[in-house]
Amino acid sequence: MIGGMGILTVDDMDFDALHAALAWQVELGVTEAIGDVPVDRYETPAEAPKVAAVAPPAPLAAPPTAGHAAPVQGPDPVAIARDAAGRAPDLAALRAALADFDGCELKRGARNTVFADGAPGARVMVIGEAPGRDEDIAGKPFVGRAGQLLDRMFDAIGMQRTAEGRDGLYITNILPWRPPQNRDPEPAEIAMMLPFVERHVELANPEILVLMGNISCHALLGRKGITRLRGAWAEALNRPALPMFHPAYLLRNPLAKREAWHDLLMLQARLR
């Protein structure tokens, strides 16, 4: 080792000094004690050779196709629903077809398929929107607070879901499964269920439809705005249809019960 005082041999340094010098060099990044050729540490390094830029690889081209064929899609759930509903010869078969239909995601989160309640063949068929929590548990439409109000409303004009013949009432919904958190049904969900509703009306064969709420009116009349639609007769599925406030709306807005009573009297007069 070359120092300021001349040449020092290994014998002139003790072990601790040598070990400290080695540790210091390792800390500085020294990896080899002796190289093959001497290295001048004061020489200015030569400029690194420039590397030509390499262009990124081109994206893979789509495989050639014959003509312009449309992408392959899965089966259409609306078409499947229409086929299943159309093949049902009676209400019992339609209920079974609806329970077997797996195209709607709502079914996976529901406890029960809510099909209908009341007297099949009744002159009036009430079509609501979708089951709530109570309906999902019971497997029947309109059994919660809104359902109890509906029963009182129609009982006031002499109609009950438990009655037979001309005083009977038949009740169903656009959707047979409860949407999460009672949200409004989505257009795709309504479109899937509409073939079952249409076949349901055809098999039950009522004289008059009562459309309870915006969702029912939008599904069967193609229009929304129940405050404008109620109180005026319309036509749905080739039958007279009367839009009415949903009982759940009446529970939130008691002042609207006067309009609902007016609509019930319209229905009673039409049946007479």
Mean pLDDT of 52-78: 56
Whether 101 and 107 have beta carbons less than 8 Å apart is answered as yes
At residue 43, does pLDDT exceed 80? no
How far, in Å, CA of 154 to CA of 159, rounded?
5
Q: Between 163 and 54, name the one with better pLDDT.
A: 163
How far, in Å, CA of 85 to CA of 93, rounded?
9
At residue 14, does pLDDT exceed 90? no
Which stretches does DSSP call E strand in 99-257?
Answer: 117-118, 124-128, 170-173, 208-212, 234-236, 239-244
Work out the burial of residue 7: count CB atoms within 10 Å of its CB; fewer than 13 is exposed, 13-18 middle, 19 or more buried. exposed
At residue 269, does pLDDT exceed 70? yes
How far, in Å, CA of 123 to CA of 128, rounded?
16
Classified as helix, coil or strand, 90 is coil
At residue 49, does pLDDT exceed 60? no
Mean pLDDT of 87-112: 96
Whether 243 and 229 have beta carbons less than 8 Å apart is answered as yes
Q: What is the pLDDT of residues 150-194, one digit of tens each?
A: 999 999 999 999 998 889 999 999 999 999 988 999 999 999 999
How far, in Å, CA of 10 to CA of 22, rounded?
13
Which amino acid makes up residue 8? L
Average pLDDT, the chain: 85
Kindly calculate the radius of gyration of the chain based on its CA atoms and give it in whole angstroms: 40
pLDDT of residue 63: 47
- Count CB atoms within 10 A of the CB of residue 259: 16
Lowest-pLDDT choice from 42-56, 73-87, 121-135, 195-209: 42-56
Side-chain-facing half-sphere of 158: CA atoms under 13 Å: 10
Domains of the chain by range and CATH?
80-271 (3.40.470.10)
SS3 for 44-75, per residue?
CCCCCCCCCCCCCCCCCCCCCCCCCCCCCCCC
Work out the burial of residue 167: count CB atoms within 10 Å of its CB; fewer than 13 is exposed, 13-18 middle, 19 or more buried. middle
Q: Is the overall model pTM greater than 0.75, yes or no?
A: no
At residue 60, does pLDDT exceed 50? no
pLDDT of residue 3: 44
- At 145, give phi and psi (nearest 5°): -60, -40
Q: Between 25 and 132, name the one with better pLDDT.
A: 132
pLDDT of residue 12: 53
How far, in Å, CA of 75 to CA of 97, rounded?
17
